[in-house]
């Protein structure tokens, strides 16, 4: 079921399916909640309630106009607002890409709302910021995204040639292009990087205090394994690192059976 929730002055499109213990799925860039379409049925069938919002500026949710509107504090507050509106106290949290960064911060700042956390692809913000030279090279695009107007022009040029080559994700590209042809939507997504560039210089080093599962894929073009592996230093609870071989950055699309198996096993583990 799709819900429309007014949170922090914006209308959010939120998928809410199933019954049982709640699981909050948080997507990244350039996605919306549909990137979880291969996880949602498995989680619902296993007896969980799945909450999957389009984050601000993405999918069918409202798109605030200013770069500062996409600051990390606002993104975290949106998730808290969604949980409050649905009268959900505590969740299992799952985040990918930018959704993982938001989720790490939510888990660190609001531990009373998170039972356990599964981070896909992106490690703790402090581990990412202090990552090895491999990570700096893989993350070159973060600097490019700071240039006003150029990433938007480059992405759209030649029938979205750059976005096609940069992502190399044929299963998603048609949906991404359709979403980001809409006025302002591509800039809204890139504003996540612009509004939060200071995270690279002054990352929040707050540890999380609940069990964490870190899942990394060895075909990831944008992230080094070490930034996920070293996230253990920022987890004051059990931390497990898993590598999925043969999958790219969008591992939940490339290897859904393996991702689903890891998530379901993690959900069943007792919280100590």
Cis peptide upstream of residue 115 (ω within 30 degrees of 0): no
Closest CA to 163 of 196, 136, 195, 186: 186
In sequence order, what are the residues at sequence separation of 6 or more whose Cβ sits closer than 8 angstroms to the Cβ of residue 269?
A: 116, 211
**128 noted as active-site residue:** no
Q: Is 193 a catalytic residue?
A: yes
User: What whole-number distance in Å separates Cα of residue 230 and Cα of residue 40?
Assistant: 29
Residue pair 198/72 in contact (Cβ under 8 Å)? The answer is no
Scanning the chain, the segments in alpha helix (DSSP H) are 40-45, 72-85, 98-109, 125-129, 133-138, 140-144, 150-167, 170-180, 185-195, 225-229, 251-254, 256-268
- The token pair at 266 is 């993690």
- Cα–Cα distances in angstroms (integers) from residue 159 to residues 150, 164, 180, in the given order: 16, 9, 12
What are residue 2's DSSP bridge partners?
Answer: 15
Active-site residue identified among 48, 70, 117, 193:
193
97 is catalytic: yes
Nearest to 52 by CA among 79, 21, 76: 79
> CA–CA separation, 19 vs 49, rounded Å?
4
Please give the Cα distance from 45 to 36 (Å, whole number): 14
Q: Which residue among the candidates 33, 124, 180, 249 is catalytic per the annotation?
A: 249
- Active-site annotation holder among 97, 117, 124, 220: 97
Give the DSSP letter of residue 208.
B
Catalytic residues: 97, 193, 249
């Amino acid at each position: 079921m799709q819900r429309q929730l007014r949170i922090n002055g914006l209308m959010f499109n939120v998928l809410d399916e199933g019954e049982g213990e709640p699981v909050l799925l948080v997507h990244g860039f350039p996605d919306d909640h549909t990137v979880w379409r291969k996880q949602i049925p498995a989680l619902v069938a296993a007896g969980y309630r799945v909450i999957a919002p389009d984050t601000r500026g993405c999918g069918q949710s409202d798109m605030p106009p200013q770069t500062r509107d996409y600051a990390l504090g606002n993104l975290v507050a949106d998730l808290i607002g969604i949980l409050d509106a649905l009268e959900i106290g505590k969740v299992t949290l799952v985040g990918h890409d930018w959704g993982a960064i938001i989720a790490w911060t939510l888990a660190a700042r609001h531990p009373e709302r998170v039972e356990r956390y599964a981070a896909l692809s992106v490690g703790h913000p402090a581990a990412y910021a202090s990552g090895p030279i491999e990570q700096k090279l893989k993350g070159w695009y973060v600097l490019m995204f700071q240039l006003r107007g150029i990433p938007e022009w480059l992405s759209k040029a030649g029938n979205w040639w750059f976005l096609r080559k940069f992502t190399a994700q044929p299963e998603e590209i048609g949906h991404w292009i359709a979403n980001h042809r809409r006025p302002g939507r591509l800039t809204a997504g890139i504003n996540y990087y612009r509004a939060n560039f200071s995270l690279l210089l002054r990352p929040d080093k707050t540890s999380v205090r609940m069990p964490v599962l870190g899942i990394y894929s060895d075909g990831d073009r944008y992230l080094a394994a070490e930034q996920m592996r070293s996230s253990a230093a920022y987890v004051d609870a059990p931390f497990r690192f898993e590598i999925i071989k043969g999958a790219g950055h969008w591992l939940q699309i490339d290897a859904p059976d393996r991702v689903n198996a890891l998530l379901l096993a993690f959900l069943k583990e007792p919280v100590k």
